[in-house]
Amino acid sequence: MKKNIIILVLAIFSVTLAFSQAIVRTKISSTPSDAEVYVDGSHIGHTSMEFRFRSGQMYKIELRKNNYRSQVFTYRGGSGNINKRLEALPPAKKPHRDPHKMNAPSYEHRKDHHKQNFHKPFKPHNNRPKPPHHKRKYTLIIKSDIPRAAVSIDRRYVGTTPLRIELEKGMHDVFVNLPGHRDYYEKVDLNNDKDIFIRFR
């Protein structure tokens, strides 16, 4: 009898744990639509869209759109769909012009300015600073068995699969999201041209 009770308690605990870790598909929308969506700092797409959150886990979400205030908020997975209204930014003020500063300089001022420039030492052109050296770039190609998956590189949305992009040499964070499938993440050390093919589950 006691053994059966222990087995029953363990079974209930296992079911509760599995439910708490369930993946819940959640719709993210905004007014107006087509706002950029960032989850924990990673760009995942634009509203309206669906994203899979882990039930019970806390996420930091940010919505961005030009000419609107960004919204940053926390969300617990499994709490229901997300729908936010973005506040429009006020129009930018035109800079105030001082009418006195627009007057032409007097003759005395122009004469003094000519004298100052006349005594400046001559600088040869070969002393100009050289432009900074640019890092070498390589081509990164990302394909997937299901096309039009959203691709973010170094936390910046760059397009959808299939994708061909040139990046500077070094480490890059590659994040690929397709609603209804497991997210793909890889830290790529780019020191030559590279191809990535993703099979979604």
* Mean pLDDT, 10 residues at a time, the chain of 201 residues: 62 54 89 94 91 92 94 92 93 68 55 52 58 76 94 94 93 93 92 92 83
Residue 163, pLDDT score: 95
User: Is 99 a member of any domain?
Assistant: no
User: Is 42 a member of any domain?
Assistant: yes
Residue 1, pLDDT score: 59
Cα 56 to Cα 17, 44, 176: the distances in Å are 11, 20, 23
CATH classification at residue 48: 2.60.40
Q: Which of 85, 104, 128 is the last residue of a domain?
A: 85
User: Is 97 a member of any domain?
Assistant: no
Pairwise CA distance, residues 178 & 153, whole Å? 15
Residue 75, pLDDT score: 94
Residue 25, pLDDT score: 92
User: Is 24 a member of any domain?
Assistant: yes
User: Is 186 a member of any domain?
Assistant: yes
User: Is 69 a member of any domain?
Assistant: yes
Q: Count how many domains the chain has.
A: 2
Q: Which of 42, 60, 85 is the last residue of a domain?
A: 85
Residue 106, pLDDT score: 55
User: Is 118 a member of any domain?
Assistant: no
CATH classification at residue 184: 2.60.40.1120
Distance of CA 79 to the CA centre of its chain: 24
Structural domain for 165, as ranges? 137-198
User: Is 187 a member of any domain?
Assistant: yes
Residue 93, pLDDT score: 74
Q: Indicate the burial class of 179 (C-beta count within 10 angstroms; 0-12, 13-18, 19 or more).
A: middle
Q: Which of 85, 106, 126 is the last residue of a domain?
A: 85
Pairwise CA distance, residues 151 & 175, whole Å? 6
